Structure 1
């Protein structure tokens, strides 16, 4: 998975959205203690930076050293490069001992994981019985009917053949992802819960986001040019139809959240 994002790490850092405060406040309200978070698959640290405002310490890991190069430095965030398939020994050395972590977060990454192995590690690390795991994804952005119609074709037809199969779990809004955890206090299910983030963006930044897609990079490596002049012209025409160069782009976010309870 890490190799998919190495070459576009800077684009990933610039183009990807941050996440809304109400998402993190909701998650933090479900963890009794706020000492230690493990942010897995942190990428360039978008989630880790927000978690650092609510928790004493954050350990943010990724298998891509290139991604971590572009992560913002925050005093109480430790960025660590890990093996793609972490052993329990590496977990204990780099993250912590059994029942030591208050919260595990995975932002836009869990669909790439070997879930049975990861869940075994998560259940071992989380404090019993109220340690919380929170994983979320976001689907394609929403701009306007005309821009979104072009993006739908670009996503499903142009980039469709170049997406890895786990991407389907994102398309399904994490409804079908295996998530064997109890509902957190105050909730009667473990999600998905919907949130939204809005970002004011110009067309160049919108294209930067599209170029950060792993499918775009895969297509490029195979010699396919997806943002052809014709496609760019269609996006440009739709983007500029209201005469405004900047648009409010909305990213729908889908959260699965649960606690370890007595599952381990």
Structure 2
């Protein structure tokens, strides 16, 4: 299966405007991960997860199919970036104490990836996969956002997006001691900052490609009367599944 790269073409936007993840997500994962020598962040994108793991593990390997993304990724001395498929990596057997995938498992050949996880994981290593759903803006704005998401750009989402909406319920997770948890990422953003985040969405990029116009401009005009000129809190519902590679 040919891997899908939906992000190299706007890697600069992705590096600037994608969200990072709340501290309590990492705290939850670490409860199940007593050994913290070596972690692998798969589909690392701009390195946001790799950067967090670098503060917690001795060594972090981070991979992505997008060389452009890796060039722009956060740099730390104990992070090693490599271009690699998720399903076929250069790592030796029994290498990692923790393997993470943030907002990306839905792009993979999931069964093949999990086979690779079993190969490169140490005994009793932890595998953590998570994503985040549609942003919440508050009364008067959520209705506009939902219409934009479902109707204006809805036809431009890849079919894999349904796995995010379903919180990965339809994707296999054949590991032991499975745990599920939810978190909330809270950010305080201006409208301009929020609109630039939306421009990182793969469906928005596809809409622009096919129609040669930016749908986010019109959305911004709809949101502005309620949003106002200042900043407001935006929240992202984060969902996690975690298991032990036995």
Task: Give the TM-score normalised by the residue count of structure 2.
Answer: 0.94
- Could you tell me how far apart the structure 1 residues matched to 2:153 and 2:17 are? 18
Decide which of 134, 138, 149 is 1:140's aligned counterpart. 134
- Could you tell me how far apart the structure 2 residues matched to 1:181 and 1:78 are? 27
- Could you tell me how far apart the structure 2 residues matched to 1:180 and 1:12 are? 31
Q: Which runs of 5+ in 2 are unaligned?
A: none
Is the deviation greater in 142-151 or in 130-139?
Answer: 142-151
- Could you tell me how far apart the structure 1 residues matched to 2:219 and 2:131 are? 26
CA contact (8 A) 1:169 1:176 kept: yes
Residue 231 of structure 1 is matched in structure 2 by 219
Matches within 5 A, 1:196-235: 196-223=184-211, 225-227=213-215, 230-235=218-223
Residue 62 of structure 2 is matched in structure 1 by 60
Q: CA deviation at 1:7?
A: 1.3
Q: Which secondary structure does the structure 2 equivalent of 1:102 belong to?
A: strand
CA contact (8 A) 2:175 2:245 kept: yes
Structure with greater strand share of residues:
2
Q: CA deviation at 1:85?
A: 6.2
- Could you tell me how far apart the structure 1 residues matched to 2:154 and 2:240 are? 24
Relative to structure 1, is the Cα distance of residues 37 and 230 closer, same or farther in structure 2, using a 3 angstrom cutoff?
closer
Decide which of 156, 160, 177 is 1:166's aligned counterpart. 160
Superposed CA RMSD in Å reads: 1.5
Q: Which secondary structure does the structure 2 equivalent of 1:177 belong to?
A: coil
Matched positions, count: 244
Residue 252 of structure 1 is matched in structure 2 by 237
- Could you tell me how far apart the structure 2 residues matched to 1:157 and 1:37 are? 39
- Could you tell me how far apart the structure 1 residues matched to 2:77 and 2:239 are? 29
Q: Which runs of 5+ in 1 are unaligned?
A: 184-188
Q: Which secondary structure does the structure 1 equivalent of 2:179 belong to?
A: coil
- Could you tell me how far apart the structure 2 residues matched to 1:175 and 1:230 are? 33
Residue 39 of structure 2 is matched in structure 1 by 37
Residue 77 of structure 2 is matched in structure 1 by 75
Q: CA deviation at 1:238?
A: 2.2
Relative to structure 1, is the Cα distance of residues 68 and 2 closer, same or farther in structure 2, using a 3 angstrom cutoff?
farther
CA contact (8 A) 2:111 2:172 kept: no
